[in-house]
Amino acid sequence: MIHIASLGYRFGSRVALDGVTFGVAAGELFGLLGPNGSGKSTLLRILTSLRRPSQGEAAIDGCDVASRPAEVRRRLGVAFQSPSLDKKLSVEENMRFQGYLFGMRGRALAERVDELLENFGLQDRRKERAETLSGGLKRRVELAKALLHGPRVLLLDEPSTGLDPAARRDFWEVLGAMRGRDELTVLVATHLMDEAERCDRVALLDQGRLVALGKPGALKDRIGGETVSVETAQPALLAKKIEDRLGLKTRLAGESVRVDSPDAAGTARKLLDAFGAEVQAVRVGRPTLEDVFLTLTGRGLDAGEEEAP
Ligand code: ADP
Ligand code: MG
């Protein structure tokens, strides 16, 4: 349903996307995971035909984005990072104006608005101005609005930024229900590993390059059994000692030193025996997608640059 081949994009001399290739199947929930500045928003903008690729091609449902932008836009629902509601208008008016943009009118539009407000549990809010809604409800209206014209593909950019944990769960539940109702293909860009964990497949993006692609479980299995995470006052120093004295490979993640091991409990014991005095806490756990990202790139997901202007 989404086809991307050797996609490249440059802002002047700065490379934002560098030869990215992947496909998303119909009905799939696909995640694009990478830190700030890795090129996620640029890729989504190219898919909406807001930007023309410098190199390579992209297509939605067989329609090339550069040469058939109008057909592409009809097939796409989009919820971008910056809020898209008109805050002085009511929920219903926001929905209706979105319909006008897509050439919907009269009874058909009114029925479709009703159906979506119903599905999204927004019926009792329809007369309220957008600015009076909580962050979670606003996001729900944005999602309903994006789906108004019945797109087959939904693009979401950092959908739970600014939402509290309860609103975040609510958002994913509503999205799950929508995916069950219509066959919807969803591409979600995020720098949060727990969002990516919910996806059927994930592409890891680092500095405009695709560094891995697969099911979250399979990506985590690649880096082996379990991860021992050691908290210490001087992570770099301890990492070096662990490597020198125990011959184990380490990685740094914030204030902690990570060691991947098929026998994590045994390794944790060894680390405590050898360096107990320097260790504040030891945790053993399955690796996360952030561990995968760290292993592949040497960087964490928060380590990206600041948001582009
Ligand atoms: P992400 O969404 O993953 O944070 P972006 O696609 O926004 O990444 O940015 C990718 C790269 O392109 C970054 O290096 C960013 O600084 C740069 N970039 C993004 N937008 C612009 C712009 N309008 N002008 C110049 N550089 C930009
Ligand atoms: Mg972005």
Ligand lying nearest the CA atom of residue 42: 1
CB atoms under 10 Å from CB of 222, counted, come to 13
What are 228's strand-pairing partners? 259, 284
36 lines ligand 1 (CB under 6 A): yes
Pocket test residue of 41, 43, 51, 192 for ligand 1, highest count of atoms within 8 A of CB = 41
Q: Which atom of ligand 1 is nearest to the CA of 34?
A: 3
Identify the residue whose C-alpha is closest to ligand 1 atom 26: 11
161 lines ligand 1 (CB under 6 A): no
What is the pLDDT at residue 309? 43
pLDDT digits (tens, 9 = 90+) for 179-206: 888 889 999 999 999 899 999 999 999 9
The number of CA neighbours under 13 Å toward the Cβ of 245 is 11
Q: Which atom of ligand 1 is nearest to the CA of 42?
A: 6
Contact, 183 vs 27, CB < 8 A? yes
What is the pLDDT at residue 304? 62
Phi-psi region of 48 (alpha: psi -120 to 50; beta: other; left: phi over 0): alpha
**Hey, what CATH class is 2-214 in?**
alpha beta
DSSP 146: H
pTM value is 0.86
What is the pLDDT at residue 247? 94
Q: Check residues 309 and 289 and name the one with the higher pLDDT.
A: 289
Measured in Å, residue 279 CA sits from the centre of ligand 1 at 39
Averaged pLDDT for residues 225-252: 93
Averaged pLDDT for residues 269-284: 93
pLDDT confidence tier of residue 307, bands split at 50, 70 and 90: very low
308 lines ligand 1 (CB under 6 A): yes
Alpha carbon dihedral 296, 297, 301, 307, in 10-degree steps, equals -140
What is the pLDDT at residue 266? 93
What residue ranges do the domains of the chain occupy?
2-214, 224-297
302 lines ligand 1 (CB under 6 A): no
Averaged pLDDT for residues 46-51: 94
Pocket test residue of 11, 17, 41, 81 for ligand 1, highest count of atoms within 8 A of CB = 11
* Nearest-angstrom CA–CA distance, 96 and 76: 18
Measured in Å, residue 84 CA sits from the centre of ligand 1 at 20
Measured in Å, residue 296 CA sits from the centre of ligand 1 at 22
* Nearest-angstrom CA–CA distance, 175 and 190: 15
40 lines ligand 1 (CB under 6 A): yes
What is the pLDDT at residue 130? 95
Could you identify the residue written with the tokens 């190199």? 55
Residue 301 has pLDDT above 90, yes or no: no
pLDDT confidence tier of residue 82, bands split at 50, 70 and 90: confident
Measured in Å, residue 237 CA sits from the centre of ligand 1 at 34
Name the packing angle between helices 106-119 and 165-181 (round to 10°): 130
CB atoms under 10 Å from CB of 132, counted, come to 12
What is the pLDDT at residue 86? 93
7 lines ligand 1 (CB under 6 A): no
Strand duo 55-60 + 29-33: pairing? unpaired
Name the packing angle between helices 106-119 and 135-146 (round to 10°): 140
pLDDT digits (tens, 9 = 90+) for 105-148: 999 999 999 999 998 999 999 999 999 999 889 999 999 999 99
Classify burial at 305, counting beta carbons within 10 Å of its beta carbon; exposed 0-12, middle 13-18, buried 19 or more: exposed
Cα angle 83, 32, 119; round to 5: 50
Residue 270 has pLDDT above 90, yes or no: yes
Phi-psi region of 32 (alpha: psi -120 to 50; beta: other; left: phi over 0): beta
pLDDT confidence tier of residue 166, bands split at 50, 70 and 90: confident
pLDDT confidence tier of residue 285, bands split at 50, 70 and 90: confident
Averaged pLDDT for residues 260-278: 92
- Its sign, for the CA torsion 123, 129, 135, 138, is positive
**Can you spell out the DSSP letters for 205-250?**
EETTEEEEEE-HHHHHHHT-SEEEEEEES-HHHHHHHIIIII----
Instruction: Please tell me the CATH code under which domain 224-297 is placed.
Output: 3.30.70
pLDDT confidence tier of residue 226, bands split at 50, 70 and 90: confident
Averaged pLDDT for residues 143-164: 92
Measured in Å, residue 263 CA sits from the centre of ligand 1 at 41
pLDDT confidence tier of residue 305, bands split at 50, 70 and 90: low
**Can you spell out the DSSP letters for 62-101?**
TEETTT-HHHHHHHEEEE-SS----TTSBHHHHHHHHHHH
Contact, 214 vs 182, CB < 8 A? no
Averaged pLDDT for residues 93-113: 95
